[in-house]
Amino acid sequence: MSNTDVVYGIHAVLAQLNQRPDDVIEILLQQGREGDQINKIRAFADKQHITCSVVSRKVLDQYAKTHQGVVVKVRASRGKTEEELVHLLDNLDEPPFILVLDSVTDPHNLGACLRSADAAGVHAVIAPKDKAVGLTPVVRKVACGAAESVAFFSVTNLARTLRMLQDRGIWITGMAGEASQDLYTTDLAGPTALVLGAEGKGLRRLTRELCDQLTKIPMTGLVTSLNVSVAAGICLFEAVRQRKLKGN
């Protein structure tokens, strides 16, 4: 496994520089590319004494086709551990608000989920290490900085992690199209972990069995399911609405 990743795209790079500068190894800028945001990146490199190389577009294209003129080499991050999750929960001063993604494999979906999680003020996003996408360059690009701002935990045993959350009084709510309960009549105001399943397959059997309750987004049209990132946004902001009403 490589010890180096890349971050590309203006927003993702600026987020990396602002939030995790110690992980930056080298900055690559496209020759002839100018602008205020490029100048910000140059200034950061000068201030932090980070190597900033000017290269051809062809070189950057080897890393990504949608780099927007900048690629940053960073120390690889595979997500935080279960131990770090426990530490985070022990130090919260409000009811925990967690998003759990059960075996989401599409990097575009994970990136979009992280953006929604950041916007909703989620304390942690949890996903299994196996048979799920991690913090890849594509995820970071799609997340537009949320991959750096949201605590992402990659856990070895998702079932064990869900039990740990339950032991700490966190209510596990799984999203399932066949549930009898409606999202808008489901209590999400307290300590909550929302669990969404993989694209097409939904929640795995054991994950579903470990949920304290199942609920669904009411669907009134011909479409019977939503993309996981769209569903995550809807569910997270319903929880935000309820938490604000309760004063959390």
CB 177 within 8 A of CB 225: yes
> Between vectors from CA 199 to CA 224 and to CA 6, what angle results, nearest 5°?
145
Q: Which of 76, 116, 109 is nearest to 198 (CA)?
A: 109
Is 41 annotated in a binding site? The answer is no
CB 88 within 8 A of CB 193: no
Q: Which of 204, 200, 81 is nearest to 134 (CA)?
A: 81
The H helix count followed by the E strand count for the chain is: 10, 10
Which amino acid is present at 190? G
DSSP label of 69: T
Rounded (10°) CA dihedral 23, 15, 93, 159? -70
CB 58 within 8 A of CB 71: no
CB 164 within 8 A of CB 82: yes
CB 8 within 8 A of CB 67: yes
Q: For the chain, what's the residue count?
A: 248
Q: What separation, in Å, do the N-terminal and C-terminal C-alpha atoms of the chain show?
A: 41
Residue in this structure with the two tokens 């537009």, named with its chain if needed: 144
Is 217 annotated in a binding site? The answer is yes
Is 226 annotated in a binding site? The answer is yes
Annotated binding site for S-adenosyl-L-methionine: 197, 217, 226
Annotated binding site: 197, 217, 226
